[in-house]
Amino acid sequence: MSPGFLTLKLLRGLLTLFLAVTFVFVILRLAGDPLRLMLPDDTPPDVIDHYRQLYGLDRPLPEQYLRYLQGLMQGDFGYSFRDRQPALDTVLSRIPATLLLGLTSFVVSTLIGLVAGIVAALRRGSLVDQAVISFSIFGHSMPSFFLGILMILLFAMTWRILPSAGMGSAAHLVMPAITLGVGGAGAIARFTRSSMLEVLNQPYMKTARAKGVPVATRVLRDAVPNAAIPVVTVLGLRMGGLISGTVVVETVFAWPGIGQLLVTAVGQRDLAVVQTIVILVALTMVVANFAVDVAYRWLDPRIAGAGKEAT
């Protein structure tokens, strides 16, 4: 990995973060006065002024922005309007719940998607292939809030074998993780199948087959690594969405993670918390993209070579 490549990626990442922070800062303040949503209708004007001063909302917008950036540089993400706790603490306290849900669904959907995609490609045109394609379309097109409520109706209300909402035991994780994972598994299966079909038709695969290389070796050693690049792209996007992708599912299942916090914070214009979440999400996307770029070069060294020639 060349230092130039790393520097370029780092600079791009920082620029993305800066733009995200700036965009959200401006949009949130243009969208209305947070004190109107925060305080009751009959709040006396001097009390409103007191709060405006307390939160620094009485200062000109550019000054607020510069102060915010200055705070960020010092690790100060501001204070939640809602409970007056440091915004970073509030957000960090939710990460374990979101990661537990996100990573569980990521692992499950990746395993299911990869296996289903590979099997479907190997059995092209068969019933298995048809079933995988159907599952893939179902998973991709089924809205997660609808699937979640369907699952609650079946597993919690009708059969009463799983808790309906909340977090507390492994049983609580089952429905949200499946709901979140179904869409991902469908997408990964579809990409894996297409990519595998392309690779399986390559001359080197035919040669390997003609030489009598066992199926398992042909698939795992020759086909899967060559088919991996498009799949890695999907996985990267899914990894980047680990934090931001759980909003709906967390709300449906009352899962106390970042997604639910974001919904509450946006609804109440809790500026510091929303901004901190956006920074976190942007950071996750930047890291995921970087990881995908690195994975590309590891999987296919020709990419690094092409980069050098181009420069």
Partner 1 sequence: MLILHLTWSKHLKLLSALAAASIGLAATFGMSAAKAESRPDIVVAVPDLPPTLEPAKELSNIGTRITYDIFDTVIRRDFLSAEDGSGAELTPALAESWAWTDPRTLVLDLRAGVKFHNGETLTAEDVAFTFSAERLSGPESIMANGRGYFGNIESVDATGPLQVTFSLKVADPIFEQRLASWTAWVVNKKDWQANAGDSYPQFPVGTGPFMLDDYKADQSIRLVAFDDYFGGTPKAASVTFVKVPEEAARIAGLVAGDFDIVTTIGPDQIGQINAYDTVEARSVVLSNSHVLVYNTEHPTLADKRIRQAMNLAIDRELLVKALWAGKTVVPLSHQYPEYGALFDPSRDGLVYDPERARALLAEAGYDGAPIHYNTNPNYYVNTVPAAQAIIEMWKAVGLNGKLNLVEDTRGGPEDTLMVRTWSNTTRFPDPAGGLWNLWGPHQSTQRNKEWVPAAFNALGETLDKTPEPAARKEVFHQMLDIWEDEAPGTILYQPLETYGVRKSLKWQPYSHFYLDLRNDNFEDMAVSQ
Question: Tokens at residue 287, please?
Answer: 């890291």
Q: Pick from 99, 80, 100: which is nearest to 90 by CA?
A: 80
Between 148 and 183, CB nearer to partner 1: 148
Which of 156, 174, 295, 304 touches partner 1 by CB under 8 A? 156
Contact between 310 and 56 under an 8 Å Cβ cutoff? The reply is no
Cβ neighbours for 212, distance < 8 A, ≥ 6 positions apart: none
Between 43 and 194, CB nearer to partner 1: 43
Candidate segments 132-140, 155-163, 233-241, 292-300, binder of partner 1 by CB under 8 A: 155-163
Which of 113, 117, 139, 163 touches partner 1 by CB under 8 A? 163
Candidate segments 111-119, 179-187, 245-253, 285-293, binder of partner 1 by CB under 8 A: 245-253
> Interface with partner 1 includes 241 (CB under 8 A)?
no
How far from the centroid of its chain's Cα atoms is residue 140's Cα? Answer: 15
d(CA 8, CA 12): 6
Q: Give residues 69-88 in contact with partner 1 (rule: CB under 8 A).
A: 80, 82-85
Judged by DSSP in three states, 192 sits in helix
> Interface with partner 1 includes 153 (CB under 8 A)?
yes
- Rounded least distance, CB 259 to partner 1, Å: 11
> Interface with partner 1 includes 58 (CB under 8 A)?
no
Q: Give residues 201-230 in contact with partner 1 (rule: CB under 8 A).
A: none
Query: Interface mask (CB under 8 A) for partner 1, residues 261-290, using x and -?
Result: x-xx--x-----------------------
Helices marked H in the chain: 3-30, 34-38, 45-54, 61-73, 87-92, 95-122, 127-141, 144-151, 170-200, 203-210, 215-217, 224-240, 247-252, 258-267, 271-299, 301-310
- Rounded least distance, CB 57 to partner 1, Å: 15
> Interface with partner 1 includes 46 (CB under 8 A)?
yes
Q: Pick from 231, 219, 244: which is nearest to 194 by CA?
A: 231
Contact between 238 and 108 under an 8 Å Cβ cutoff? The reply is no
> Interface with partner 1 includes 143 (CB under 8 A)?
no
Interface residue list for partner 1 (CB under 8 A): 31-33, 36-37, 39-48, 50-51, 80, 82-85, 90, 93, 149, 152-153, 156-157, 160, 163-167, 251-254, 256, 260-261, 263-264, 267
